[in-house]
Amino acid sequence: MYSYELLEPGCYYLIQEKETSPITLIKVSVVSDHCVYLSRFEETEAMEWKRKGDPIKDIIECLDDKAIAAWEAEYNKDLYNYEEDEE
């Protein structure tokens, strides 16, 4: 079992919080003495605080720059298409 204390700010991680939960992409933005502030990317982006000691079943991987760029292109694809359609 892991915890949010292991995660570094500015990094994107694929995690699984519980045995039965889906794999989730998160980005850690801020680390304080007792908590981390992160963005959770699902259908929409949600931001939240977690205690450093809160459990994570598995930290699957920390994404590299190439994987992040590919994900961002896919995640934002509909946004760009919508903006182009508006003109």
Please name every residue paired with 28 in a beta bridge, in sequence order, or none if there are none: 38
More confident residue, 81 or 52: 52
More confident residue, 78 or 74: 74
The residue-averaged pLDDT of 38-65 equals: 95
CA nearest 25: which of 4, 45, 5, 51? 45
The reported pLDDT for the residue numbered 15 is 97
How many domains is the chain built from?
1
**Is the distance from CB of 27 to CB of 34 less than 8 angstroms?**
no
Full residue range of the structural domain in which residue 58 is found: 2-86
Q: 37-46, long-range: CB within 8 Å, 24+ apart, which pairs? A: 38/4, 38/7, 41/75
Kindly list the distances between the CA atom of residue 55 and the CA atoms of 18, 19, 26, 66, in Å, as whole numbers in the listed order. 8, 11, 15, 28
